Amino acid sequence: MPILADAEGNMPRVKVRKAVRWIGENFVRPISVTDIAAIVAMSERSLLRHFREEMGVSPSEFLSRERVECACRMLEETDLPVDTIARRDGTTSGDCMAKMFRRFPALSPSEYRQRHLHDRRTTAPRQSRLEPPVEARTESTQVENDMNIYGWV
């Protein structure tokens, strides 16, 4: 795994942004906090502390939300079986995906698909499927932008 580094790479906020970007690009494969910490050259403890401060959730929670977002898109846009979607979004099984769905959208994947079937043709896609659309969002920092994309602000 290549370590992401640049001239400003020693700042925790920059490293958290890099972690967010890396998770977003790699969530379909198995990822641990150890992997993320190595990628951004931080200790696990520092990563956990700074990630939670910047993003409001742990790296593991962020990873789970990335996977649920991906699954939501596939449930809305395809007719693939839940188990197939789970394997494609990095969740490994339909049962694991169902557990994650109970925490975020508070629906089973099948219930989510049923509720959003009409969305395929009647509405424009939202940035986040876990939260209702938000009309206006501020753009004060990149981290806040990242949080906006995932509907956490």
> What CATH code would you report for 62-136?
1.10.10.60
pLDDT of residue 103: 86
pLDDT (tens digit per residue) in 87-126: 999 988 889 999 999 888 888 999 999 988 765 555 555 5
pLDDT of residue 40: 96
Q: How confident is the model at residue 62 (pLDDT cuts 50, 70, 90)?
A: very high
pLDDT of residue 126: 52
Instruction: Give the start-to-end residue ranges of the domains of the chain.
Output: 62-136
What's the rounded Cα separation, in Å, for the pair 76 and 143? 28
Q: How confident is the model at residue 54 (pLDDT cuts 50, 70, 90)?
A: very high
Residue 142 vs residue 139, higher pLDDT: 142
DSSP 50-91: HHHHHHSS-HHHHHHHHHHHHHHHHHHH----HHHHHHHTT-
